[in-house]
Amino acid sequence: MNIISGLLSSEDVVLGLTATDAKRMCEEIALRIARRHRLDDKLVFRALWRREQSGSTAVGHGIAIPHARIPGITGPLLLFARSKLPIPFGASDHEPVSAFFVILVPEHANDEHLRILATVSGMFSEKAFRGQLEAATEPAAIQRLFSQWVTEIDPSNLNVKPPAPDHEGASK
């Protein structure tokens, strides 16, 4: 289990989107996530598109991680989407993108969104995971892949205790 497992259900997996460019993909994603979570799709689109215009969220290997802060939500919202055909998305490897892992966080998000981003980045950095994800054709199978992924460096699995206080320094 990881931080994604409690936030991404099979209902948050959308396959077969038909967008042909980055702007339209942000619109389709915004509409899907807004419907699912009863949000204003225009607000979600503006936040995603504004973030995309400041720099592509494509990370290479045909994958993008669009993310944005959304006023009014109380916790992270996730969506995995796959397009029917890869689309240009400004990736540094110049590969078109067909897999989109969307992260929406509250306007004043804490470090949880950074842990989600780090976990997803770790997943996508593994060639075996990318291959399994590409081969999966059902939302439930895709959700299971994300939920069951574990690695030693998965930030949500870290159990780091702070160092004990220095008692000598406490009296100074």
- How far is Cα 153 from Cα 160, in angstroms, rounded to an integer? 12
* Closest to 155 measured CA to CA, from 103, 114, 106, 100: 114
Q: Is 167 a catalytic residue?
A: no
Q: Is 2 helix (H, G, I), strand (E, B) or coil?
A: coil
Helix (H) or strand (E) holding 139: helix 139-148
Q: Exactly one of 37, 67, 94, 113 is catalytic; which is it? A: 67
Residue found under tokens 């669009």: 66
Contacts 24+ apart (CB under 8 A), 137-140: 137/15, 139/10, 139/11, 139/13, 139/14, 139/15, 140/10, 140/13
Position 160, amino acid: V
Terminal Cα distance for the chain, rounded: 44
Residues with catalytic roles:
67
